[in-house]
Structure 1
């Protein structure tokens, strides 16, 4: 990284201001334009905009810049959807017509696959989220302060990590979330409870995490604090229970976290009221969701995504399915009623315990789940899979685990990806190992952001 660059007779430096016409969008959500002979990447900018930006980084002939002002808006942009948009960093594309968002995501994925040399496959486009608004079943709100120093509870301000924007409304969640947020903020302000300042590492209140099951209406509220002071939460419990909600509060939790990072981490958990889980339903099956277990944040979108994966897997009758990076076992459990056997592997012990419990919960006796690194556990399994489903973290699978999967020689591999960059790289490795990408389809699980899920069907090539 350089603070300045001289190229082709043009001198550029960090902090310099540019006016750029955005002509394309690349993953992860960079608007692309050109200035002289430099390629300019601006986070959140979209095709058709003219943007005033400040250079942040220069690497070779590529400039990364921060938007300062939208000088000219794209023709398809819209306004007035949310009063917090622009200040809140939660949404990137809320100002865009939803159909345009889908086009951008579809094109981002196709360009990454093209760049990896993945060709001659059926691209099936992108499915829209069943809900464009109020689709999230989980939100992590942060306690902080605004520019005036007042206590806030909401999302980090865009470009200002140490400021938190109060959310009077949020189009990503239903009204129950905002009612709970406002109740928690009022309680904290009335009791003069200090927020945790990540710069000084002092304070008490860190996060408020709300999870809601769409099918059952069950709600879990989790207040996250440091151990720097003691607090009687009886007033908070009563206030939360007294809110008139569409859903039902089934648990109120207190999580202790003294880690320095801003992530929600559980060092100790206390149940203040009720129980420490909610029950959700997907495709006719029930899943127990604990406060820190992974579950897709778009319930109806998850049903569409898993239907897509099940379709790509084909007929599972009398077949053995490996569910790799299985988390709480959701995909494997959904496939288990048709399969002969499901074997799941997951690194996190807590998630594996949840997967085992979810299998019992649905009276499925053909599921076995192992704890450990996927690449290592695969070397110790004797069963041969007919179908392998992989749903890895954003970092992807990688050559070592792919090599171990290929050694089993499964006829079909279904790759469910939350990061099309690592998906493209991994698909290249699979094809080099004698497999062929047959079809790819995208699922929009996160409207108004640049994130997109992608499912690929990979088949073994027989000479």
Structure 2
């Protein structure tokens, strides 16, 4: 893949831009083998990968420029906007929507936030694209000062982009390096974006996490199903379950008696319950709870344990898993360093299968899935 923004040094975020994709995959595989020495060589499957371009289902764009002439992209070292709306990483439907959103912002008169002077209102534009070509559009504002203006302009947004399903305003009043704040106001009738995958439909709220690469995420869930289908667990624990992606895919394939998902976000838990109800798993009782996943593994727990933690890993939970009776753990990680540390804290659980997933082509970021089995 080649990128004019990269060649012109306007954006250097894709550190591997220009490196042949086959070489990127080989380097990813080699890096994970070296970073995870406890995984036997024979346990590794070849890396899973999708297209090297037009794969991102989400755009996180800094809004710069001036009123009537916004930029959508990043900031330069001086804090001024660099427009990247033609980035080749976005899915075609997302790519096609960005010029319309830029025009909408310009014609509505929303004032971009100027970082050097700390003036203006619109800080970021966050857009998610679904497999059904629907959009969730989130405007990150400094205050509610331009909220009424945005609400009045919604008919124009729907006219430009009728595929828009969810529209929200996120409030980030502080001047800090953050993409969004904690407060979200839903302006549309729908508050969730359906993500229809081959096996089931997940529902994304405004602040829900979903893998940025839908094609490879589908491969990730299918691999989890294949490994677990031979285990036939009666109970599945899904810690850090988010909107239920791993647990529901595994339950659809193995039909356990109980699926128990734990996630700290109440909104994500509500979305997981929605997906479970829509999936209708006969014979499986699905229980999703809003709680701290690192504290909720109960003594005497058995069956299959799924963990999909943030980059920091599972921390003290590793010791609790080591001391538990759980016979199998399915661990999905985006950080080989924290994964290696967690594996070393669970010596009685041995890796029996592992695979890299090229979720982020053109970068060194990665996703890796490991199946562990208790020895002895």
TM-score, normalising length: structure 1: 0.73
Which residue does the alignment assign to 2:73?
155
Give how far 1:135 is off.
1.2
Q: Which one of 321, 332, 339 corresponds to residue 405 of structure 1? A: 321
Give the conservation status (yes or no) of the 8 Å contact 2:6–2:17. no
Q: Which one of 175, 190, 195 corresponds to residue 280 of structure 1? A: 195
Which residue does the alignment assign to 1:345?
262
Instruction: String of CA shifts for 1:14-39, please: whole Å, max 9, x gaps.
Output: xxxxxxxxxxxxxxxxxxxxxxxxxx
Instruction: String of CA shifts for 1:242-295, please: whole Å, max 9, x gaps.
Output: 3368xx222332223213333233444334344222111223211111111111
Higher RCO (CA < 8 A, seq sep 6+) = 2
Could you say if the C-alpha distance between residues 175 and 240 of structure 1 is closer, same or farther in structure 2, counting changes exceeding 3 Å? farther
Which residue does the alignment assign to 1:455?
369
Could you say if the C-alpha distance between residues 314 and 411 of structure 1 is closer, same or farther in structure 2, counting changes exceeding 3 Å? farther
**RMSD in angstroms over aligned alpha carbons?**
2.7
Q: Does 1:144 align with 2:64?
A: yes
Distance 2:117 2:305 in 1: 47
Unaligned regions of 5+ residues in structure 1, if any?
1-77
Which structure has the larger Rg over C-alpha atoms? 1
Give the conservation status (yes or no) of the 8 Å contact 1:183–1:239. no
Could you say if the C-alpha distance between residues 121 and 198 of structure 1 is closer, same or farther in structure 2, counting changes exceeding 3 Å? same
Any runs of at least 4 consecutive aligned residues in structure 1 with deviations exceeding 6 A, and if so which?
none
Q: Which one of 311, 318, 322 corresponds to residue 394 of structure 1? A: 311
Q: Indicate the structure with greater strand content.
A: 1
Give the conservation status (yes or no) of the 8 Å contact 2:138–2:168. yes
Which residue does the alignment assign to 1:326?
241
Q: Does 1:264 align with 2:183?
A: no
Instruction: String of CA shifts for 1:285-312, please: whole Å, max 9, x gaps.
Output: 1111111111111112111011122233
Give the conservation status (yes or no) of the 8 Å contact 2:74–2:83. no
Distance 2:239 2:308 in 1: 6
Give how far 1:188 is off.
3.4
Distance 2:44 2:78 in 1: 38
Give how far 1:383 is off.
6.0
Which residue does the alignment assign to 2:291?
372
Instruction: String of CA shifts for 1:369-402, please: whole Å, max 9, x gaps.
Output: 2222223212xx366322111111100012x211
Distance 2:358 2:78 in 1: 27
Q: Secondary structure at the match of 1:304?
A: helix
Q: Secondary structure at the match of 1:103?
A: helix
1:217-228 maps to which residues of 2 (within 5 A)? 217-227=133-143
Which residue does the alignment assign to 2:40?
120
1:60-79 maps to which residues of 2 (within 5 A)? 79=2
1:43-54 maps to which residues of 2 (within 5 A)? none
Give how far 1:363 is off.
1.8
Moved more, 228-237 or 161-170: 228-237
Give the conservation status (yes or no) of the 8 Å contact 1:81–1:94. no
Moved more, 188-197 or 439-448: 188-197
Distance 2:121 2:141 in 1: 5
Q: Secondary structure at the match of 2:232?
A: coil
Moved more, 256-265 or 332-341: 256-265
Distance 2:223 2:233 in 1: 20
Could you say if the C-alpha distance between residues 262 and 239 of structure 1 is closer, same or farther in structure 2, counting changes exceeding 3 Å? farther
Give the conservation status (yes or no) of the 8 Å contact 1:347–1:371. yes
Q: Does 1:442 align with 2:339?
A: no
Could you say if the C-alpha distance between residues 79 and 221 of structure 1 is closer, same or farther in structure 2, counting changes exceeding 3 Å? closer
Which residue does the alignment assign to 2:9?
86
Could you say if the C-alpha distance between residues 383 and 218 of structure 1 is closer, same or farther in structure 2, counting changes exceeding 3 Å? farther
Q: Does 1:417 align with 2:333?
A: yes
Give the conservation status (yes or no) of the 8 Å contact 1:313–1:412. no
